[in-house]
Amino acid sequence: MKMIFATGNSDKMREIREIMADMEVEILSMKEAGIQLEIEENGTTFEENALIKAKAVAACTDAIVLADDSGLEVDYLNKEPGVYSARYMGEDTSYEIKNQAILDRLSGVPKEQRTARFVCAIAAVLPDKSTLVTRETIEGYIGDCPAGTNGFGYDPIFYVDEYHCSTAELSEEAKNAISHRGKALRAMKELLRQRGF
Ligand code: IMP
């Protein structure tokens, strides 16, 4: 059985291959499957965007298709940047600038009000075109200043209580074990298993 993960990101491909390693499926990227598509992510929730991507790819194949959508929700900022995380202040604006802008907007705000989470939704379209969706989070808070050089995106300003550090200070393995994407992928694996895959 073939499974296509609708992403062009090689880090995400590595993570899904690790998590799905014990399943009887061959996992392909869109490129490996020979599918080239520009997909407009115009949903208003992570779940909607993941489904939009998975359905667009599933229209080209009978394989199982998985897609993800993720982002950062900052409670004090009414859950911004949310589904606009990659586009916050413009797609081409560096994360140094995006992260500093969030820190500036939270200037003087006490720790209890700096709660935030990374969210990840994973959508699947099965060969019979039925759909499955999982959504998981990692809870944390926005620190006072950026720290760490691992990871990507908002990792330097997102702190987790259990480690007392930012997710950019965690090793890749430590982050994957607790991350929104790792949890949502493992939950999806369970749903697929229940469907007999
Ligand atoms: P996408 O799901 O690949 O479109 O990612 C959306 C955006 O959310 C990324 O570009 C990052 O800005 C942010 N994001 C999602 N997950 C993480 C994470 O684990 N660390 C840091 N930023 C993240």
- Percentage of the residues of the chain whose pLDDT score is greater than 70: 100
The atom number, within ligand 1, closest to the CA of 167 reads 20
Asked if 143 and 157 count as a contact pair (C-beta separation under 8 A), the reply is: yes
3-state helix, strand, coil in the chain (%, to 5): 35, 25, 40
Number of domains in the chain: 1
Looking at ligand 1, which residue's alpha carbon is closest to its atom 9? 86
- Could you tell me if the CB of 165 is within 6 A of ligand 1? no
- Could you tell me if the CB of 166 is within 6 A of ligand 1? no
In this predicted model, what pLDDT tens digit does every residue of 26-73 receive, in sequence order?
999 999 999 999 999 999 999 999 999 999 999 999 999 999 999 999
Strand partners, 134: 122
Counting as low any pLDDT under 70, the low residues of the chain are none
- Could you tell me if the CB of 152 is within 6 A of ligand 1? yes
Which CATH number covers residue 44? 3.90.950.10
**Active-site residue list:** 69
Gap from CA of 83 to ligand 1 centroid (Å): 9
- Could you tell me if the CB of 169 is within 6 A of ligand 1? no
What pLDDT is stored for residue 11 in this prediction? 85
Asked if 102 and 74 count as a contact pair (C-beta separation under 8 A), the reply is: yes
Owning domain of residue 164: 2-194
The atom number, within ligand 1, closest to the CA of 41 reads 4
| Pairing status of strand 26-29 against strand 2-5 | parallel
pTM of the model: 0.95
